[in-house]
Amino acid sequence: MSTTSSRPDATDSPVESKAGQHPAPPTARPRTKQTGWLFVVPFAVAFALFMIWPIVQGLWMSFTDESLTLSSTEFVGFDNFAEAFGDPDVWSSLGNTLFFTVITVVPLVLVALGMALLVHTGLAGQWVWRLSFFAPFLLPVSVVTIIWQWLYQPDLGMANQALEKLGLEPVGWLSDEQVAMWSIAALTVWWTVGFNFLLYLAALQSLPDQLYEAAALDGAGAWRRLFSITLPQLKRTTGLVAMLQILASLKVFDQIYILTKGGPNNSTRPILEYIYDVGFTGYRLGYASAISYLFFALIIVISIAQLRIFPRQEG
């Protein structure tokens, strides 16, 4: 008769071996977490080097008198911020930026919506319309500005030639202080409206057909369906497009710098170009950083306002 007793196998369930106790956690899970961190570390290091560190360095620089022409740097507290609030060039360039934002956001939302509705109605040659509306967005800013410089040429430009055929006087599209910002706004609308058009078209194609079928059965016409079904269903997309466009317009720099360099008489100089001039032409990096953070605070306020106006829909 055998006297050896059977010992519980290590692979048996803990519930069966020790009734009443909770099962031990699986041993493979910590190893999985460690493996996950290995994948995250490269991105975290790059994010810290190229995003977090420049933000911290720029914030510290805004409290100093750092300059490319000074051999030493001193802490000046809030002097740079106080100077920025009293600098008339800051307010004028900020006013130019806000004016550009207003005159571009409205047409970029309405024109994109109209283009998307036109294509969604099922016009013949769909690919031609889509390509024509979206293709300018793919062009680099240098190409776009060269094209519009030709159009705005005072003597040989197409714009003034069209006015002459209509019996009107030529216009200084980029040399007249009252017209230059509108000329840049027209360029920007033509260049970037394709992206908003694409967002609206995708939203239109996702609307359920049952709503339109039920409205048709009730006798609703095309305009009634547009204002009672389509536009309310696009409310969320309109909020997204408007917010993206506001942020993009506030950051305007390159097309203005290439076309007019802020002229004539600083009438088109945006706040980012003024920061660039202060930092890299005037060599005052500390003061330029302070203006940058004031502008950053303004963008945060606008973003918070957008979240209040367009709250997230639950479900």
pLDDT of amino acid 198: 94
pTM of the model: 0.82
Task: Tell me the average confidence (pLDDT) per consecutive run of 10 residues in the chain, 315 residues long.
Answer: 43 47 58 78 92 93 89 90 95 96 95 93 84 93 94 90 91 93 96 95 92 88 90 91 92 93 92 94 93 94 81 50
pLDDT of amino acid 4: 42
Please tell me the distance from the alpha carbon of residue 278 to that of residue 276, in angstroms, as a whole number. Answer: 6
Please tell me the distance from the alpha carbon of residue 292 to that of residue 284, in angstroms, as a whole number. Answer: 12
- If DSSP codes are grouped into helix, strand and coil, which group holds residue 27? coil
pLDDT of amino acid 5: 43
Tell me, what amino acid is at 105?
V
Q: Could you tell me which residues come within 8 angstroms of residue 120 by beta carbon, excluding any fewer than 6 positions away?
A: 201, 204, 205
Q: Which residues of 115-153 are buried (b: 16+ CB within 10 A; e: fewer)?
A: bbbebbeeeeeeeebbeebbebbeeeeeebbeebeebbe
Q: What are phi and psi of 259, to 5 degrees?
A: -80, -50
The closest alpha carbon to 159, from 226, 150, 287, belongs to 150
pLDDT of amino acid 70: 80
